Amino acid sequence: MANQTIEILLIEDDPDDIELTLRVLKTHRLANKVQVLRDGAEALDYLFAAGDYSERQMINGPKVILLDLKLPKINGLEVLQRLKSDSRTRLIPVVILSSSREEKDVRAGYQLGVNSYIVKPVDFQQFTEAIRSLGLYWVRLNQTPL
């Protein structure tokens, strides 16, 4: 795994959550590369190599996507629906990382094919541990198809 680029795609608009997530991933050496996208439209352009990302090769996709629900332009559930309905992106693991505890959001996420739904802890230490644990599992332990 030493030569393999590990990419986590973080789709998040809250600057504090972005900074903390990046810090935890770096501290625990859970990713060689983390791509941060701040809204749903930018995320879809990136994932489908469109717009500003038209030069990107889709074959170099992320190992896991950390997806917030409350995004500007296109919300997280719409992003998830597009990902899971396209054969090119369907198999990429998606973890919803949201502050929403609403049953309708959790249910909608799983109905659309999310792999995991995690409510962002408010407490700094708990948030740090949640990011460390999910990074460890999805990046180091989870086996995805080639």
CATH code of the domain covering residue 16? 3.40.50.2300
Confirm whether 145 is domain-assigned. no
The domain in which residue 91 lies consists of 7-138
How does pLDDT run across 59-116, given as a tens digit for each residue? 777 889 999 999 999 999 999 999 999 999 999 999 999 988 999 999 999 999 999 9
Query: What percentage of residues in the chain have a pLDDT greater than 70?
Result: 95
Q: With respect to residue 44, please indicate whether it lies within any of the assigned structural domains.
A: yes
Return the minimum-mean-pLDDT range out of 2-6, 10-14, 87-91.
2-6
What would the mean pLDDT of 23-49 be, rounded to a whole number? 92
How does DSSP assign the chain, residue by residue?
Answer: -TTSPPEEEEE---HHHHHHHHHHHHHTT--SEEEEE-SHHHHHHHHTT-GGGTTS-TTS--SEEEE-SS-SSS-HHHHHHHHHTSTTTTTS-EEEEES---HHHHHHHHHTT-SEEEEPPSSHHHHHHHHHHHHIIIIII-----
Q: Domain for residue 62, yes or no?
A: yes
Q: Is residue 49 part of a domain?
A: yes
Tell me the pTM.
Answer: 0.90
Q: How many domains does the chain have?
A: 1
